Amino acid sequence: MREKTKRFMILGQTGYFGLLIFLPIWNLILVPSVMDKYITLLLTVGPLLLPMWGILKQKPYTYAWSNFIVLIYMIHGLTLIWDRPDERVYVIIELILTAMMFIGCSYFAKFRGQELGLSIRKKKEEEEAENNA
């Protein structure tokens, strides 16, 4: 794995595990939610658990689709930054972590996919070659 690819993997994992640790602390300890703690935990951490295995195994496809999940947290943060000015520091931390995960996962998926030869262009070229044959 090239150094650039590894740096983006570390950035994505830092954002991912940062969210996984920070969100329960924020919603259960720092500013306890009015909902039941198990429901709060399920809603805040549940979606993040879906890509965990692929992120730990460094699968480019998982890094790519995990961005759809992190967008939920980004929208959450952008909404709360206006809605809860008293929690703005926590929201900014959430937004920083989501940005780290989004950028890291996007570029890791791109570069690692290229290293492994998992290119969309390659598939398209193969399909065109099959059609022309």
Give the mean model confidence (pLDDT) for residues 110-132. 74
Alpha-carbon span 56 to 33, nearest angstrom: 30
The number of domains in the chain is 1
Least confident of 8-22, 51-65, 69-83, 115-129: 115-129
Higher-confidence residue of 118 and 28: namely 28
Residue 120 confidence (pLDDT): 60
Mean pLDDT computed over every residue of the chain: 91
Give the mean model confidence (pLDDT) for residues 124-133. 66
Alpha-carbon span 120 to 133, nearest angstrom: 20
Of the candidates 71, 54, 72, the one whose C-alpha atom is nearest the C-alpha of residue 63 is 54
pTM, rounded to two decimals: 0.85
Give the mean model confidence (pLDDT) for residues 46-72. 95
Residue 124 confidence (pLDDT): 60
**Quick check: 115 pLDDT over 70?**
yes
Two tokens at 123? Answer: 């598939």
Higher-confidence residue of 37 and 133: namely 37
The 10s digit of each residue's pLDDT in 21-45 is 999 999 999 998 888 989 989 999 9
Higher-confidence residue of 129 and 105: namely 105
Which residues span the domain enclosing 74? 3-132
In angstroms, how far is CA 71 from the centroid of its own chain?
Answer: 8
